[in-house]
Copies of this chain bind each other. A is one copy, B any other.
Amino acid sequence: MKNFTSELSVGAYLKAGANKTVRTLSQLKDLYSNREEVNRILENEDPVLYEVFEMPPSPKETDLLVNITVLHAGVVGEEPFMTKGHFHQDPDTGEVVIGLKGSGILLLQNRKGEIQEFPVEEGKVSYAAGGWGHRVINTGKEDLHFLAISGANMIHDYETAVKLNFKSLPVENKERISANE
């Protein structure tokens, strides 16, 4: 990757040369527990859940990944749109999440199943240390924009997330969210 500078917005990031990757429901349908609802939605459309804006070219091991993600607002059944969620492996490095717009949560879960959650909103930074799987969930009613920074030397480990039944959202949380609406 090359040196770059950009305003912290999707438009500016695209102008600075970022590539866009789109994630749709059909690619991520296993994230959601309500299979019937997933199938019902997919009969009509394949909605975009989120888009990731990333600087080319392919990063070297020594680079940091510096991506803007736009996670759209919406639900599948009772579960809000969320990112795939992953652990890092070999090395199991940290990840930084900085909210830019909208509101959501960064849900962390370690391999013992312990859970932490942090706010994702403008002006807040959160850090997921190595060993903590992480997923962002849009709990608001508008698009959630956030910056994520991680070492490019890490490998996404999605399998552990699946094995652990990496949580979409703890139950107590659902209550808190509806209380805020």
A-side residues, CB < 8 A to B, are: 1-9, 55, 60-64, 66, 91-96, 98, 106, 108, 116, 118-119, 123-130, 132, 147, 149-151
How many of these chains are in the complex? 2
Q: A1, A61, A98, A129 — which one has the most chain B CB atoms within 10 A of its CB?
A: A129
Given contacts A3-B108, A98-B98, contact A91 B61 (CB under 8 A): yes
Q: A61–B130 Cα gap in the complex (Å)?
A: 10
Which residues of chain B have C-beta atoms less than 8 A from A64's C-beta? 64, 93-96, 127, 149-151
Closest-by-CB residue of B relative to A2 is B129
Closest-by-CB residue of B relative to A121 is B7
- What are some 7 contacts across the A-B interface (CB < 8 A)? A1-B94, A5-B119, A7-B123, A64-B149, A93-B151, A98-B98, A149-B149
